[in-house]
Amino acid sequence: MRNRLLFFLIPLALLIPSCGQRTVHNQPLPSRESISKRPVHTETIVIDAGHGGKDSGSRSDTHNYEEKQLTLSTARMVRDYLQEMGYKTILTRDDDLFVPLDDRAQIANANNVTLFVSVHYNHCPDPSVQGIEIFYYKDEKTERHVHSNHLGDTILSQLVWHTGAEARGIKRGKFAVIRQTKMPAVLVEAGFLSHPKEREKIKDPMYRRFIAKGIARGVDHYI
C-alpha cells in the first residue's frame, strides 16, 4: 500500500512548482534594440526662432515679456520634440543673437533641408484679436507654395488640437524667411501677445509646450 501511495505522490510532486519558483515559458525575450529603438528619419527640419539680439520683436515692460525670448523657448521645445520623433533639426539661433533674415534663409538653403518653420508671436492694436495664423509665400514660378500651404494646414490643425486656440487660417505673406527659402516654408504666429488672456497663456512654459508639440506633430503629419 505504501509503495502504491508513493507511486501516485511522486508524479504529483513533479507537477507542482516549488514555492517562489516562476514558470518560464519558452518565448524569445525582446532584444535591447527593439526596446530602445526610435524611428529614424532622413528629413532635416529648420526651426527659426523669430527676432533675437537687438531685435526684441514685440515687448512690454509692463507685462514683462520679450517676443524674442518666447520664440527661442518655443523653438527649442519644437527641436526637442522633433528629435524625439527621430528627425534631424537645425536652429537658426540657439541664443539671444541677432541673425539677419537673409542669413536665416541661407542656413536652410545651404543645408538642403526638408522644411523650414519660423516661430513668432503676434501683436495687434486691437486687444480683442486672438488666435493662431500661419503664413506661406506663394511663388508663381514653382509648386513650392502648394507644399507650404499644406504644411501650414497640418501644423495649424495640430496647434488648435493641442492648445484649444482659435484658428485664424492659412494666409499668404511675403516675409523674407519664407520668401527666400527654397523648400516648403511657413511662418507660425502662435498667438497674440496683445490679447490679455492669450498673453498670459503664452508666458506660461507649459502652454508653450503645447504650442511646440502642435508644431512638431504638424510637421510629422505632413511628412
At residue 38, the pLDDT reads: 65
Q: Which three-class secondary structure state does DSSP give residue 81?
A: helix
Cβ 129 vs Cβ 194: under 8 Å: yes
Cβ 86 vs Cβ 17: under 8 Å: no
168 Cβ contact partners less than 8 Å away, ≥ 6 residues apart: 131, 132, 133
At residue 21, the pLDDT reads: 39
Cβ 56 vs Cβ 66: under 8 Å: yes
Cβ 74 vs Cβ 212: under 8 Å: yes
Cβ 157 vs Cβ 218: under 8 Å: yes
Q: What is the DSSP string of 119-176?
A: EEEE--SSTT---EEEEE---TTSSHHHHHHHHHHHHHHHHHHHH-PPEEEEEE---H
Question: Of 67, 69, 90, 218, which is closest to residue 210 (Cα–Cα)?
Answer: 218
Residue type (1 letter), 195: H
Compute the distance between CA of residue 91 and CA of residue 117 in angstroms, rounded to an integer.
10
Domain parsing of the chain, residue ranges? 42-222
Question: Of 199, 47, 219, 64, which is closest to residue 150 (Cα–Cα)?
Answer: 219
Which uninterrupted H or E stretch holds 65? strand 65-66
At residue 15, the pLDDT reads: 41
At residue 206, the pLDDT reads: 98
At residue 39, the pLDDT reads: 76
Q: Give the C-alpha distances (Å, rounded to integers) separating 126 from 122, 137, 191, 193.
A: 12, 26, 13, 11
42-222: CATH number: 3.40.630.40
Rounded average pLDDT per 10-residue block, the chain, 223 residues = 45 41 38 50 96 95 94 98 97 98 98 98 97 95 94 98 98 97 98 98 98 98 96
